[in-house]
Amino acid sequence: MQGNLGLHETLEMHELLIFKNTCLTKSASMSALAQDPALKAILEQDVTQSKRAVQQLQNLLSANGGQLQ
């Protein structure tokens, strides 16, 4: 897949990565504050899923060279 992403696709992936990092940070912060067990479980599940999504986006960007061309 190396080099197959266009500029707009790379920019959109960077935007998604920033968004998912923001979601991850917020969910992790809120799960530490949550007192309701059900809400805490939902937030912790979101943290796990967001970490996976961030890693996948980073891998895709790395495979493309990670650069804005």
> pTM of the full predicted structure?
0.80
Mean pLDDT by 10 residues, the chain (69 residues): 75 94 96 96 96 94 70
Q: Which among 47, 48, 43 has a CA at the least distance from the CA of 31?
A: 43
Q: How many Å is the Cα radius of gyration of the chain? A: 15
What local confidence, expressed as pLDDT, does residue 3 receive?
A: 59
What local confidence, expressed as pLDDT, does residue 63 receive?
A: 86
What local confidence, expressed as pLDDT, does residue 26 receive?
A: 96
What local confidence, expressed as pLDDT, does residue 65 receive?
A: 74
Angle between helices 7-33 and 37-63 (to 10 degrees): 160
